[in-house]
Amino acid sequence: MRRISELIIHCTATFADQRVTVADITRWHKQRGWHTIGYHYLIDQAGNIFPGRPENQSGAHCLNHNAHSIGIAYCGGLDANGNPADTRTPAQKAALIRLLTELKHRYPHATIHSHRDFAPKACPCFDATTEYAHL
């Protein structure tokens, strides 16, 4: 089993109302040369949590952190003009807390981070590190 020390939050960098599925992201990531979706979980606008890459496999979501992290993405992250924005719905916010709480029970020493903590990106378009520091 992998030793998990980080839970890393991402957005899909898609429009707030754009429906994105695990199959869509898997296709996009395969086009980049990966063998499957890089995230371990995807949360849609309705707050549904979908499994992506199995937790026992290293992700492909954060350079130099994949071996010891779980990648979680929510659908959205772009406003109507294509600019980075916190587009999370109330259902997504609740689902993120639910999933992070569950993961922290399984991996109690894991810290929660925004993707932008490790890369020069706006992702996930809000400060997840601060928002979830209490978990």
**Count of residues for the chain?**
135
pLDDT at residue 100, rounded to an integer:
98
How many CB atoms within 10 Å of residue 9? Answer: 30
What is the residue extent of each domain of the chain? 6-131
H-only helix segments in the chain: 22-31, 90-106, 128-131
Instruction: Quote the pTM value.
Output: 0.96
d(CA 25, CA 42): 9
| Cβ 8 vs Cβ 121: under 8 Å | no
| Cβ 7 vs Cβ 110: under 8 Å | yes
β-strand pairing of 111-114 with 69-74: unpaired
Q: What pLDDT tens digit does each residue of the chain (135 aa) get?
A: 789 999 999 999 999 999 999 999 999 999 999 999 999 999 999 999 999 999 999 999 999 999 999 999 999 999 999 999 999 999 999 999 999 999 999 999 999 999 999 999 999 999 999 999 999
> pLDDT tens across 22-46, in order?
999 999 999 999 999 999 999 999 9
Catalytic residues: 10, 39, 115, 121, 123
CB neighbour burial string for 76-110, b if at least 16 within 10 angstroms, e if fewer? bbbeeeeebbbbbbeebbebbeebbeebbeebeeb
Q: Say whether domain 6-131 belongs to CATH 1.20.120.80.
A: no
